[in-house]
Structure 1
Amino acid sequence: MRAFLALLTMMVSLAACAQDATYKAGVHYQVLNTPVTTADPNKIEVTEVFWYGCGHCFRFEPMVNQWAKQQGEDVNFVKSPAMWNGLMETHARAYYAAKALGVLDKVHQPLFNALNLEKKRLADENELAELFAQHGVAKADFTKAYKSFGVSSQVRLADANARGYQITGTPEMIVEGKYRVSAKMAGGQKQMLDVVNYLVTKARAERG
């Protein structure tokens, strides 16, 4: 029995070493010098930084959603909109307004579709209100949420977090607020999720 346990331990160690050899900090992912505080310290946070107008994010959406469904209860998957300009901030505000109104499931994909398939800009509050109205949200309710203090606070926090993550493009993923993964570093979108899986396992080990 002892010999079997020793062999099993050796096999696990060899597998870990092989995985460590596959993914290297500074090559396949970046270790942030200053970690960003996560929303729930009791769970392993994985954040996807995205933009509704990003074609790469649009194609990545079904892939990352499928990935999220396969995660354990100890993983908290978070989407966080990027905002490098006024238009992106408008779309970020729409995202948090949808969450506040409880209609994110209804309008999330339509927002992607409007920008990537229908080639709309959704550049102001009125355009967004029309889209939300198509999914049962009264314009007055949308406007109230869109301009609310709570939504404004979430927009500011997402912007601050993205700066802390040192985002260079979208989509990118952050594990535990300290490991940043991009498709460019990983070698593709599927590979990015492979690296994230490795980092989630690494985070579990670090938590003991």
Structure 2
Amino acid sequence: MRNLIFTAVLAFSGLFGTFANAQGIEPGKQYTEMTNPVPVATPGKIEVVELFWYGCPHCYAFEPTLNAWSKKLPDDVNFRRVPAMFGGIWNVHGQVFITLEAMGVEQKVHEAVFAAIHKGHQKLATPEEMADFLVSQGVDREKFLSTYNSFAVKGQVEKDKKLAMAYQISGVPTMVVNGKYRFDLGSAGGPDQALQVADFLIQKERSAK
């Protein structure tokens, strides 16, 4: 009887191991384990960061899949977006996103900004152009511009620039889980696969607690 129980345990362990390996998610392949982990924004929660740029077509295409996934995340996971700023229009768009967050309207107009650039073919390359567009979304033009140029927003811009450097990203969209694991759509194998990697790493961090 003892041998039968032991055999059953081994069989279950084998099945579990096969399931885990079937996912094929490994460091150095689908994701990179960072040598210098970055502190999370909300201690005690598992953080998932997406680094993006409004002008990036891949980021725009990823949005519907990412949005649907993020809305179903459990309470112990904190998802947030961080704009990548590599100079020029990247910096303008990054500062716009931070401004919209500071105004509390990011969730309301985020998709509209993406759509205006990629479907409406609007450049929105300056804060003034962005302000003119945002009026159509119910955002006060002068309040947007004053917030855009505020000390608080400029301070957050510098923090996000340093954060992207700490993550050592080279392109977007890139995702980082708990400041420890970095991956992108290319390394993961596509949008759906990227979120499978995110789920895998979230569970990995949850199990380590």
Task: Indicate the percent of aligned positions where both proteins have the same amino acid.
Answer: 38
Residues 130 and 204 of structure 1: CA distance in aligned 2, closer, same or farther (over 3 Å): same
The residue identity in structure 2 corresponding to 1:156 is E
CA gap of 1:133–1:17, structure 2 versus 1, over 3 A, is: same
Give, in whole Å, the separation in 1 of the partners of 2:114 and 2:53: 9
Q: How far apart, CA to CA, are the structure 1 residues paired with 2:140 and 2:41?
A: 31
Structure 1 residues without counterparts, runs of 5 or longer: none
What's the CA shift for 1:66?
0.7
Distance change >3 Å, CA 202–CA 136, structure 1 → 2: same
Tell me how far 1:12 sits from its aligned partner.
6.3
Deviations 1:106-129 (A, max 9, x none): 210111011111122111111011
Shift of 1:76: 0.2
Name the SS of the counterpart of 2:175 in structure 1: strand
Which stretch has the larger CA shift, 147-156 or 72-81? Answer: 147-156
Give the Cα separation in 1 of the matches to 2:45 and 2:11: 29
Equivalent residue runs for 1:58-97 within 5 Å: 58-97=60-99
Secondary structure of the equivalent of 1:45?
Answer: strand
Runs of 4+ aligned residues of structure 1 deviating over 3 Å after TM superposition are: 6-14
Choose from 33, 50, 53 the match for 1:51. 53
RMSD of aligned residue pairs (Cα, Å): 2.2
- Taking the aligned partners of 1:44 and 1:122, their CA distance within structure 2 comes to 34
Q: Which residue matches 1:144?
A: 146
Matches for 1:148-167 after TM superposition, within 5 Å: 148-167=150-169
For residue 68 of structure 1, report the CA deviation from its aligned partner.
0.7
CA distance 1:129–1:24, shift in 2 (3 Å): same
For structure 2, the 5+ residue unaligned runs are none
Shift of 1:28: 0.9
* TM-score of the aligned structures, taking structure 2 as reference length: 0.90
